[in-house]
Copies of this chain bind each other. A is one copy, B any other.
Amino acid sequence: MSKIAVLGYGTVGSGVVEVIEKNQDIVSRNAGEAVEVKYVLDLRDFPGDPIQDRVVHDVNVILEDPEISVVCETMGGNEPAYTFSKKALEAGKSVCTSNKELVANHGPELIRIAKEHNCNYFFEASVGGGIPIIRPMIEALTAEHVVEISGIVNGTTNYILTKMTEEGADFDETLKDAQNKGYAERNPEADIEGYDARRKIAILSGLMSGQYVKDGDIHTEGITAISKADIQYAAQLGMNIKLLARSKQTKHGYEVMVAPFLVGKESPLYAVSGVFNGIVVEGDMLGQAMFYGQGAGKLATASAVVGDVVEAVQKAGKHVEIFWSQEPAKLAGLDEAEHAFLVRVANDTPQESVAKLFGEPEVVIENLVEGEYAFMTASMAEAQFNEKYEALAGTIGRIRLM
């Protein structure tokens, strides 16, 4: 019998309790012994809830109980999650988390501490909810140099972009609709500005490079500037606009960014719609593999945390090596990133001006949106593109091609 504690009885934390109870048979079969939730840490009480007698308000009860071998940290945020996780690991208790913010900020350090104390820091649920992505990267793609990761890792923005595409709606009204349906939060900034996606690509880039990528260093553009007109151009091209989180090994270093991209049908990400997530991992031997599913949801995310608990119990007293050091990864500058761009320009701007700066474009879309046209550039470094773009009169916007 393994006894565990759950820190934070919110959506994911209560899901963890539910998954362990509902799937006790399969969890104990796979763990090799029964798994029981002994404590739930929360500031609140939950009278009437089946766990009411297991609620504690003081983390030290958990940290000082030698019976507790695994702690699920489902609180979110940096503090007190960081301090609690660190102390649990220092006490030799494995920590399984869904907290992407903490993993992005302190993952390598917490893995190191886990190693020093012969326990584990696992974080499958921090990216892609219930979709297995961290464990396949660590435990399956072990003969691969991963050279690129491109993912749709935020369900809220993908839902909004999908709705805008299906209904020809504007961003603002679609966001409101998503908020009313509970797919977007009242304060949607972390999603729509790309900060949530940035944390996830920071984690995946860390596993890809084996080094630390600070999420604040990642160039990030959200979807707030995407308009109905952008969607119309994408449709005209037979493409979809997706908020991609990307990380690519280049000769200049790791090129990591979050931004909206035009995605063509040849990419498996084209068809990832609604609240679904899809993460394409490209290896030097494997080529592309995609991991797809609902990237959030109470039970799916909780299932990933409990999957981590199963492994933590199986490997009690033994650290599982995860190659992710605190050493900073070398990042390529945005200036060096190469992309083709779709550029929207006012009709006043003669196409000769475009041709003079960018060369004769192969794709020009006219008369789709009133008062403007658009053209596709060749692939070029961002610095070079920006110079030309600034020199062109009448520009309305630009969007990268994947």
Cβ < 8 Å to B, chain A residues 1-45: 19-20, 22-23, 26-27, 29-32
From 293 to 313 in chain A, residues with beta carbon under 8 angstroms from any chain B beta carbon are 293-294, 297, 299-300, 302-304, 306-307, 309-311
Which parts of A28-74 form the interface with B (CB within 8 Å)?
A: 29-32
Q: Which residues of B have CB within 8 Å of A238?
A: none
The docked-state distance in angstroms from the alpha carbon of A303 to that of B282 is 13
Stretch of A124-132, A195-203, A339-347 contacting B (4+ beta carbons < 8 Å): A124-132
Asked if A130 and B300 make an inter-chain contact with CB atoms under 8 angstroms apart, the answer reads no
* Cβ–Cβ contact A283 & B303, under 8 A: yes
- Asked whether, in the complex, the Cβ of B145 is within 8 Å of the Cβ of A140, the reply is no
Q: Is A321 interfacial (CB 8 A cutoff)?
A: yes
* Chain A interface residue number, banded: 35 or more
Residue of A139, A271, A283 most packed against chain B (CB within 10 A): A139
A178 to B353, CA, bound (A): 47
Partner of A142, one of B284, B293, B307: B307
A328: B residues at CB distance < 8 A? none
The answer, yes or no, to whether A172 is at the interface (CB within 8 Å) is: no
Tell me if A144 is interfacial: C-beta within 8 Å of chain B: yes
Contact call A286/B130, Cβ cutoff below 8 A: yes
Instruction: Give 1 or 0 for each of A245-267: 1 = CB within 8 Å of chain B CB.
Output: 00000000000000000000000
Q: Decide if A293 touches B285 in the complex (CB within 8 Å).
A: no
A270 CB–B CB distance under 8 Å: yes
Residues of chain B contacted by A291 (CB below 8 angstroms): 289-292
The 6 A-B residue pairs with the shortest CB-CB distance in the complex, in nearest-first order: A132-B140, A143-B306, A289-B293, A271-B271, A285-B303, A290-B292
Q: Which residues of A line the B interface, CB within 8 A?
A: 19-20, 22-23, 26-27, 29-32, 124, 130-132, 135-136, 139-145, 268, 270-272, 276, 283-294, 297, 299-300, 302-304, 306-307, 309-311, 321, 323
